[in-house]
Homo-oligomer: A and B are copies of this chain.
Amino acid sequence: MKIAILPGDGIGPEIVAEAVKVLKVLDLNFETETALVGGAAFEAYGHPLPEATLQLAKDADAVLFGAVGDWKYDTLDRPLRPEQAILGLRKNLGLFANFRPAICYPQLVDASSLKRELVSGLDILIIRELTGDIYFGQPRGRRIATDGHFPGAEEAFDTMRYSRPEIERIAHVAFQAARKRGKRVTSVDKANVLETFQLWKDVVTEIGLQYPDVALDHMYVDNAAMQLVRAPKKFDVVVTGNMFGDILSDAAAMLTGSIGMLPSASLNDKNQGLYEPSHGSAPDIAGKGVANPLATILSAAMMLRFSLNQPEAAARIEQAVDKVLSQGLRTPDIYSDGTTRIGTVEMGDAVVKAL
């Protein structure tokens, strides 16, 4: 088994180092190989996703990814910006199924912006399609408008699109995930306005017939954003497209109050996967030793479960994280009165000790 380690930018290297430390303690049989990605790769090789990094990721069974991005790359041409590395990995590895759990840890319930009763016990799973939609649709670019409100003016445009098999495969992923949990799927669309999401709704409905044991409902994306804020616990599995999923999964993660705790997985049809924390590269706190490594450590657990077929080892990591939270250990992002404030490395050490 081979794991590609791509620490990236900002706090990426610090948090990935802790996850690797935890993985090594488990004494499983795998190799790791590390490569630069994002801004770090741009600095070294002039490209955020160098050919060697992409090849390493392709050849690995799983990729453990930190985070990429920094304000200082904002003025680069889009193809050279750090986030293109993520988009390139998703596309080239065909990582179409993004799992974004939004869980509220009982020990951290008061960190949420929402009232306690609305989030305590929260456990929803957002499944975002990750290789289609307006993210990759062609044509796109700039041109002179020939119709619309201002013919003759410069305009920019993008193409949203989904094909039937793309929707079918992500729908299967959602229904199968729901079977192992609360047996409910909410499909989020904008079928009242978009052709793309009318097809989405039609196809998800069709696939749903193959899962009579799973309840399916449909919700417009604007309403879904409202219901997430109003009563997030009403959801079980949410499945949606790339663009809506980008927005809703981040909103849901932030609702828990502890985005520093939330892992994510992006899988292809061979269960090869990229695992990364739900939070970003946080350049403002990079190098200060205060970043929370738990989302990355929990991403490593997801990796063991989904791509490396080591569910027991995954559960051990998750239990160890639960234990350090119960011991009252907290990085600054989740600190509250009466708990013990510690740094990135100490948090990694605490998880190792709890194992």
Contact = CB atoms under 8 A, between A and B. Distances in A.
Interface of A: 78, 81, 83, 87, 94, 113-115, 118, 131-132, 134-138, 140-142, 145, 147-150, 153-166, 190, 192-200, 221-223, 225-226, 228-231, 243-244, 246-248, 250-251, 253-255, 259
Contacts of A195: 140-142, 156-158
Contacts of A141: 195
Contact of A158 (B148, B165, B196, B250): B196
A205 to B, nearest CB: 12
21 contacts: A87-B193, A113-B118, A134-B193, A140-B194, A142-B199, A145-B161, A149-B163, A153-B164, A155-B163, A156-B161, A156-B196, A156-B197, A157-B160, A157-B161, A158-B194, A222-B246, A225-B225, A225-B247, A226-B251, A226-B259, A228-B251
A157 B196 contact: yes
A190 B225 CA distance: 18
Q: Determine how many copies of this chain the complex contains.
A: 2
A49 to B, nearest CB: 15
A118, A145, A156, A195 — most chain B CB neighbours (10 Å): A156
Given A135-B193, A148-B161, A155-B164, 20 more contacts: A94-B149, A113-B114, A113-B231, A114-B115, A138-B148, A142-B199, A145-B161, A148-B163, A153-B164, A153-B166, A154-B164, A155-B161, A156-B161, A156-B200, A158-B160, A190-B246, A225-B250, A226-B259, A229-B254, A230-B254
A149 B134 contact: no
Given A137-B157, A142-B199, A192 B149 contact: no
Given A149-B165, A156-B198, A78 B230 contact: no
Contacts of A87: 193
A149 B231 CA distance: 36
Contacts of A222: 246-247, 250
10 shortest interchain CB distances as A-B pairs: A156-B199, A155-B163, A157-B161, A226-B254, A225-B251, A222-B250, A153-B163, A158-B160, A156-B195, A150-B165
B192 A166 contact: no
Contacts of A162: 155-156
Contacts of A113: 114-115, 118, 229-231
Nearest to A165: B150
Given A113-B115, A156-B196, A250-B222, A149 B132 contact: yes
Nearest to A244: B247
B199 A155 contact: yes
Given A113-B114, A113-B230, A163-B145, A78 B157 contact: no
A285 to B, nearest CB: 16
Contacts of A140: 194-195
A166 B150 contact: yes
A135 B250 CA distance: 23
Contacts of A148: 132, 136-138, 161, 163
Nearest to A83: B192
